[in-house]
Structures are given as C-alpha cells and as structure tokens.
Amino acid sequence: MGQRIRRPHHAAGLVACLLALAAAGPAFSADRPAFKSGLGLEYLSHAISWDEGAGSSGFSAVLVTARQVVGFGSGLDLALSAGIALSDFDGLEFRRLPISLDYESGFATGLALGAEARATVLRSRTIEIQAVGRIVSSIGFTKTWPLEGFAVEGTAEGKPTWAQASAGPRLVVKSLGKFVPSVSVSADWLWGRFAMTETLGELSGSQNQSVKGKSVIDIALGAEYELSPRFTVEGRLGILPYSGGADAVVSFGVLYVFR
C-alpha cells in the first residue's frame, strides 16, 4: 500500500561532499576565530510515517548540546556537538507484537551527537553564500514499561534511535554590523527506528518500527548577533512543509569565542 521506506544514506554522503567542497573553498579569512565553544538548544517537530507509509504520527525532540566549532581558516567551519536528546514518538504503533502496543509515553531520553560543516563558496563585501551540511542523531536509552493487568507479569522495552540530516545553500548578509541574518533552503531527511521488545510470561516478540520524516525541504531564517567580542548568540527558525501540513525546527545557541 505504501512506499517502501528508503533509508537516506545519501544524506551522509551529501554532507561529506559539502565538506570536500569546503576544503577546496576560498582563501582563509584572517579575522575568523579558530575556536568557539557553546551551548545549543534545539526543538524539532516532524510528521513521520511508518509501516511503509501505512501509519503516520508526530515526532518531536528537544536537544540540549555542548558545541565545539573549529574554524579551519579557509572558509570552512566544522562544528561538533554532544548532549542529551528528549525524543517523543507519541502515536507510534507496534502491531506486530503478540500484544499490540501503542506508544504514548512522551519523551524518551537519549544521547545526542551532531556535526555541521559550513563552507563559504562565494563571498562579497555584503553577502556570503555558504554550503551547509548537518547531521544530528540520537541514540536512545532503553526504556522499560511494566505490562499490567495481565494474568502473568510482563514488560516492554523500547529503544529509539533517529537521525536528521540536511544540506543546502545558505545566504548570509554581512552588511549589518554585529547582526548577521541568513536564509537557507535545505534538503531535509529524518529517519529512525524504534526497537520494541515485549515479554509476557512465555510470550515474547520484538518489532523494529522504521520511521521516516514526511518533509523533505527546510526553509529557514537565521541570525547571529555578537553580544561582545567573546560572546555570540545565534538562532534559527525553519519551516518544513509537506503535503497536508508543515513541520518546524527552532534552535538557539550561545557561543564563547576563544581568541
């Protein structure tokens, strides 16, 4: 009935291509700081489909991460992040277990790991065009629920993992002093898997529910503002339209600049 879910492994490949492109980018910017460290907070919301498109529900996540940005001096910035992800798969169904389960348990905790590459591909005095690639993933901690009300004792164990990748051009306006707005259009992929195992007396079963984001385009407005020579704040608001609705990504970060 539905389309077969394709794991967008090509997303990681695209990010790698952007990194390669950045390596061949324009000359080193002398005034670029070499290192920035900071904290980031991100909320993302996606409509997801599963069971080969037969089912759909919502997915949202909150990521709190520490970030390390490294400027390589040739128009290439590479950021790595790590932290905690709270992932909400409410509405996800597990129908291939002996006792069907509906996930209505709210946020599940996990590790968040991310990487982002920005490469300047075109620059003038007032604007800059960057190629941006980003991937963030969460590896959930196993969560256990007792199965109550049955004639025998039982538990369900769930572990969500997911990843989101995006890649595309970003137009940065550099003529407004400390305020640096930007607009970007990115291809966006979200995919993941929620592994659920059920044990009830002598019954047991497991199901890996693969999920896929419905939206494929991320249109975002962003801005950076230099609070002081040491501190920069940045924010981003993205809209991810899909047939029948729109998803959103909101992020906020504070960066400390090492000089």
Partner 1 sequence: MWIRKRRSIRMPAVLAALLVAGLLSAGAVQQKQTKRPGRDVRRAGQALRFEGLRSPSAPFSATDRVLLRFKPGVSADAARAVLESYGLRDVKPTLRLGFFKARVPEGLSAGQTVAMLRLNPDMDYAGPDFRTHISVTPNDPFFSPYQYNLYNHGIVLDIGPDIQPRTKADADIKARAAWDRTKGSPDVVIAILDTGVDMSHPELVNKVISTGRDFVNGDMDATDDNSHGTFVAGVAAAETDNDEGIAGVAWNCMVLPVKVMDAEGNGYYSDLIDGLTWAADNGAKVINLSLGGEEPDLALEEACRYAFEKNVVIVASSGNEGGPVAYPAAYAEYVLAVSATDYEDAWASFSNSGPEVDVAAPGVYILGPVPEWYAGPGYLPYAFGSGTSAAAPHVAGMAALLLSVKPWLIPGDLMNVIRYTADDVNAASDPGRDDLIGYGRINMERALVPYKLVNTRFILR
Interacting residues toward partner 1 by CB under 8 A = 93-96, 98-106, 108-109, 141-147, 149-152, 154, 156, 158, 200-203, 205, 244-246
Question: What span, in angstroms and rounded, lies between the C-alpha atoms of 144 and 165?
Answer: 29
In the complex, least distance from residue 170 CB atom to partner 1, rounded to whole angstroms: 24
Query: By C-beta, is 142 or 175 nearer to partner 1?
Result: 142
Question: What span, in angstroms and rounded, lies between the C-alpha atoms of 128 and 176?
Answer: 13
Query: By C-beta, is 76 or 200 nearer to partner 1?
Result: 200
Query: By C-beta, is 13 or 98 nearer to partner 1?
Result: 98
Question: What span, in angstroms and rounded, lies between the C-alpha atoms of 227 and 163?
Answer: 32
Structure tokens at 7: 């794991």
Question: What span, in angstroms and rounded, lies between the C-alpha atoms of 106 and 88?
Answer: 5
In the complex, least distance from residue 40 CB atom to partner 1, rounded to whole angstroms: 23
Question: Is 88:110 a contact under the CB 8 Å cutoff?
Answer: no
Structure tokens at 38: 């900071």
In the complex, least distance from residue 84 CB atom to partner 1, rounded to whole angstroms: 12
Query: By C-beta, is 175 or 204 nearer to partner 1?
Result: 204
In the complex, least distance from residue 154 CB atom to partner 1, rounded to whole angstroms: 8
Question: What span, in angstroms and rounded, lies between the C-alpha atoms of 87 and 45?
Answer: 10
Give me the phi and psi of 31, to 5 degrees please: -90, 5
Question: What span, in angstroms and rounded, lies between the C-alpha atoms of 236 and 181?
Answer: 10
In the complex, least distance from residue 251 CB atom to partner 1, rounded to whole angstroms: 21
Query: By C-beta, is 37 or 100 nearer to partner 1?
Result: 100
